[in-house]
Amino acid sequence: MSTHAKQADASDNQEQSQDGQRFVYQDDELIDKPFDWGQLKRLFSYMKPYRKQMLPIIIVMMLVGAITKLTVPLLIREAIDKAIIPKDTHLLLIIVGIMFAVYLIQWIANTFRIKYTNMIGQRVIYDLRHDLFSHIQKLSFRFFDTRPAGSVLVRVTNYVNSLQDLFTNGVVNLLIDVVQLCGIIIILLTYNFKLGAAIIVTVPIMFFISTKLRKKIRHAWQDVTMKQSRLNAHLNECIQGIRVTQAYSQEKANIHFFTKMNMVNRLSWNRASMLNQSFGPMIEITGAIGYCILFWLGAHLIQTEEISVGLLVAFATYIGYFWEPITRLGQMYSQLLIAMASAERIFEFMDEQPSVAEIDNAKALPSIQGHVKFEDLVFEYEPGRPALNGIQLDVQAGQSIALVGHTGSGKSTIMNLLCRFYDPNKGRVLIDGQDIREVTIQSLRSQIGVVLQDTFIFSGTIKENIRFGRLDATDREIEDVAKAVHAHDFIAALPNGYDTEVQERGNVLSMGQRQLISFARALLANPRVLILDEATASIDTDTELKIQEALKTLLAGRTSFIVAHRLSTIRNADKIVVLDHGRMMEIGNHDELMKEQKIYYGLIQAQYKFLQDAV
Ligand SMILES: Nc1ncnc2c1ncn2[C@@H]1O[C@H](COP(=O)(O)OP(=O)(O)OP(=O)(O)O)[C@@H](O)[C@H]1O
């Protein structure tokens, strides 16, 4: 990034943070890097599968298109010199006929070329996006911990899109332009070296203007894109947080901030578009210089009978042809740089290895009984800040364990390690005596059910949301599990029952309803080990009772770990583990721990007091 751009950017960001103090957006750096051939090669490897089927057709069509285009001025010369001036109507008709045929061939060639380049372009983009998405799906939690969802999203959508142009037009246009430009230069120099050489002088000037000005224009458009993505990020945040905004009456402040961003966006667009508009006239002026040289020198050469009038007109037509490939070649370079930068960001994600990886000879975990053992676990999300320290726990198959402790004490982290979303820094997690790092991730996770506090409901029907637990479940099985967890009644009362569409994140459902659906989902999966992060939100007594009943069904016969908030759940647990700052402080059942009158006792006392105060 240039110093100027950096400064502008920094001051911009600062301005925004000073203004709002709330919204500060991190931008990807401006794209201005040296060309990376390795990256280009990797990118083009995506064209390999289509190399044999489509590329030959495209190249032939491209050559036919370029050659026919270059033939037209020569036909004009023939027409003027041999038919129009000598008044040979018959020959003129023949030449016009040939010209028509040439245009027809050119049109057919271009149509096919565009069709096939679009096809290749679309397929390459499809493959690239597919690979990127599949890879991201496999990445570990650590990856998502450090990246906002927005930045992942932008790479899968915007950056992949920005490569589309390169594959659909860029590459083929580059070849066409080079062939066309070389063809014109050869023709000009062959037909009249003196006149040809004089006109060609304008080529480097055009090229210089094109690349120099284009660079400025490119930066200006990148600035527009950056401002727009900030605007998008802000818009997204505002819509997601609209309830909080309205609850705190912050609409005015938000509108004010948005207006400023909108204005900055408009100004940057104005600048880019002004620069863009100045480009055309500058190239035209250079073209005009070419015409002046042509007509001045050309007229002289006609007088000395070195060239014919027809050739002069043909040369004038060729000058007209210069401008298109030169402009495009200038554009192409910046397009390539942008594409390379996008590719770099895409490949950066693709090269990211899941931090939780399978060992080479990982075997499938056989059907488990559910005996879980944590051996001296130590875990840090960030170096030097242990989230868990010396966790030692032996859980027999079928036991239920309640994990309690203050917020941030490490309850969810234990669950994360059991599911192998992270690997411990020290120690082991064993299931039925098997170290979970030695088995395949799929075989491990498929035998562990997880019900999270923030129940995720996908867009789709209620039925499909429950089926997420086991994709081959029948409708009957879905209804059975829903009945077992007491979700059937409320689902049946919905307008379309099990086929009712729920929007993204299940906004139309209440917290309790969402929980019941996630219980049904987990019950359908029928795992031997179940992890349950209880929702803290208080719900009405009726739903609370339903959830308790549902929980009984869900937990029966399974090894379960519950981040427990409800007194009823805690009381019924076989073992209660009390955590504090990542350490296990107490372990025992409710009565034992109450007798000890230590941390657990204090927590329960506090909860009772809270409940009593609330009544
Ligand atoms: N993804 C993460 N990256 C870095 N630190 C994290 C991450 N997740 C949790 N932590 C830290 O690890 C510690 C334990 O967090 P954990 O989520 O296990 O606590 P918890 O007991 O489940 O809390 P709560 O009851 O609030 O959910 C906390 O200090 C937290 O700040």
The verdict on 437 and 388 lying in the same domain is yes
The CB of 613 under 6 Å from ligand 1? The reply is no
The helix or strand, by DSSP H or E, that contains position 332, with its residue range, turns out to be: helix 309-350
The verdict on 570 and 452 lying in the same domain is yes
> Residue 360: inside a domain, yes or no?
no
Rg (CA), the chain: 35
CATH number at residue 247: 1.20.1560.10
pLDDT computed for residue 505 by the predictor? 59
Q: With the CA atoms of 317, 318, 323 and 329 taken in that order, what torsion angle do they form, in degrees rounded to the nearest 10? A: 150
3-state secondary structure of 461: strand
Average pLDDT for 35-40: 77
**Ligand 1 mean position to 386 CA, how many Å?**
10
Cβ neighbours of residue 294 closer than 8 Å, sequence gap 6 or more: 195, 198, 199, 312, 315, 316, 319
Closest atom of ligand 1 to 413 CA is 18
pLDDT of 463 > 60? The answer is yes
**Ligand 1 mean position to 153 CA, how many Å?**
25
> Residue 273: inside a domain, yes or no?
yes
b (16+ CB within 10 A) / e for 317-349: ebbebbbbbbbbbbbbbbbbbbbbbbbbbbbeb
Do 402 and 424 form a contact (C-beta atoms < 8 A)? no
CATH number at residue 409: 3.40.50.300
Tell me the best of 142, 144, 147, 381 to mutate to test the pocket of ligand 1, counting ligand atoms within 8 Å of each CB and taking the most.
381
The CB of 45 under 6 Å from ligand 1? The reply is no
pLDDT computed for residue 365 by the predictor? 92
Range of the domain at 195: 31-350
The region of weakest confidence among 26-35, 85-94, 149-158, 606-615 is 26-35
Tell the residue nearest (CA) to atom 30 of ligand 1. 408
**Ligand 1 mean position to 585 CA, how many Å?**
17
Average pLDDT for 505-517: 78
> Residue 144: inside a domain, yes or no?
yes
> Residue 8: inside a domain, yes or no?
no
The verdict on 112 and 167 lying in the same domain is yes
Give the C-alpha separation, 423 to 145, whole Å. Answer: 15
Quick one: what percent of the chain has pLDDT higher than 70? 90
How buried is 367 (Cβ within 10 angstroms: 0-12 exposed, 13-18 middle, 19+ buried)? exposed
Residue-wise pLDDT tens digits, 71-84: 999 999 999 999 89
The CB of 408 under 6 Å from ligand 1? The reply is yes
Closest alpha carbon to 31 in 350, 351, 345, 267: 345
The verdict on 89 and 177 lying in the same domain is yes
**Ligand 1 mean position to 388 CA, how many Å?**
10
Do 531 and 501 form a contact (C-beta atoms < 8 A)? no
Four-residue CA torsion sign, 549, 569, 396, 404: positive
The CB of 143 under 6 Å from ligand 1? The reply is no
Give the C-alpha separation, 233 to 158, whole Å. Answer: 13
> Residue 312: inside a domain, yes or no?
yes
Residue-wise pLDDT tens digits, 378-403: 999 989 999 999 999 999 999 999 99
Residue-wise pLDDT tens digits, 398-455: 999 999 988 889 998 999 999 999 999 999 999 999 999 999 998 999 899 888 877 7
pLDDT computed for residue 537 by the predictor? 55
Tell the residue nearest (CA) to atom 6 of ligand 1. 381
Residue-wise pLDDT tens digits, 514-559: 888 988 998 898 899 999 887 655 556 677 777 777 778 888 889 9
Average pLDDT for 474-478: 94
Average pLDDT for 473-493: 92
| Number of folded domains that form the chain | 2
The verdict on 446 and 389 lying in the same domain is yes
Average pLDDT for 315-328: 81
**Ligand 1 mean position to 410 CA, how many Å?**
6
The helix or strand, by DSSP H or E, that contains position 448, with its residue range, turns out to be: strand 448-451
Give the C-alpha separation, 323 to 171, whole Å. Answer: 18
Give the C-alpha separation, 421 to 381, whole Å. Answer: 12
pLDDT band at 15 (very low <50, low <70, confident <90, very high): very low
**What amino acid is encoded at 373 in this protein?**
K
Tell me the best of 409, 416, 581, 583 to mutate to test the pocket of ligand 1, counting ligand atoms within 8 Å of each CB and taking the most.
409
Interior CA angle at 206 toward 205 and 210, to 5°? 120
Tell the residue nearest (CA) to atom 12 of ligand 1. 387
The region of weakest confidence among 27-31, 265-269, 390-394 is 27-31
pLDDT of 582 > 90? The answer is yes
Give the C-alpha separation, 288 to 295, whole Å. Answer: 10
The CB of 348 under 6 Å from ligand 1? The reply is no
- Across 276-290, 334-348, 574-588, the highest mean pLDDT is recorded for 574-588
**Ligand 1 mean position to 412 CA, how many Å?**
7
Closest atom of ligand 1 to 142 CA is 1
Closest atom of ligand 1 to 145 CA is 1
Full 3-state SS string of 20-85: HCCCCCCCCCCCCCCCCHHHHHHHHHHHHHHHCCCHHHHHHHHHHHHHHHHHHHHHHHHHHHHHHC
The verdict on 402 and 492 lying in the same domain is yes
Backbone angles phi, psi at 315, to 5 degrees: -65, -40
pLDDT of 1 > 50? The answer is no
The CB of 145 under 6 Å from ligand 1? The reply is yes
**Ligand 1 mean position to 220 CA, how many Å?**
42
| Nearest-10 crossing angle of helices 89-138, 309-350 | 10
Give the C-alpha separation, 554 to 519, whole Å. Answer: 7
| Domain stop point among 316, 350, 384 | 350
| Domain stop point among 319, 350, 381 | 350
**Ligand 1 mean position to 427 CA, how many Å?**
19
Give the C-alpha separation, 391 to 584, whole Å. Answer: 6
The verdict on 139 and 255 lying in the same domain is yes
pLDDT of 34 > 70? The answer is no
The verdict on 425 and 315 lying in the same domain is no
pLDDT computed for residue 164 by the predictor? 81
pLDDT computed for residue 458 by the predictor? 83
Quick one: what percent of the chain has pLDDT higher than 90? 33
pLDDT computed for residue 30 by the predictor? 53
The verdict on 283 and 174 lying in the same domain is yes
Q: What DSSP string describes 382-440? A: ETTEEEEEEEEEEE-TT-EEEEEESTTSSHHHHHHHHTTSS--SEEEEEETTEEGGGB-
Backbone angles phi, psi at 212, to 5 degrees: -65, -55
| Domain stop point among 300, 315, 350 | 350
In sequence order, the β-bridge partners of residue 379 are 388
Tell me the best of 145, 411, 425 to mutate to test the pocket of ligand 1, counting ligand atoms within 8 Å of each CB and taking the most.
411
3-state secondary structure of 167: helix
Q: Which residue has the higher pLDDT, 285 or 218?
A: 285
**Ligand 1 mean position to 406 CA, how many Å?**
11
CB atoms within 10 A of CB 104: 11
Q: With the CA atoms of 215, 220, 222 and 227 taken in that order, what torsion angle do they form, in degrees rounded to the nearest 10? A: 170
> Residue 115: inside a domain, yes or no?
yes
Average pLDDT for 581-585: 94
> Residue 531: inside a domain, yes or no?
yes
Cβ neighbours of residue 47 closer than 8 Å, sequence gap 6 or more: 55, 120, 124, 167
The verdict on 409 and 464 lying in the same domain is yes
Closest alpha carbon to 450 in 378, 390, 529: 529
The verdict on 341 and 437 lying in the same domain is no
Tell the residue nearest (CA) to atom 18 of ligand 1. 410
Average pLDDT taken over every residue of the chain: 84
> Residue 613: inside a domain, yes or no?
no
pLDDT of 375 > 70? The answer is yes
The verdict on 172 and 83 lying in the same domain is yes
Closest atom of ligand 1 to 409 CA is 21
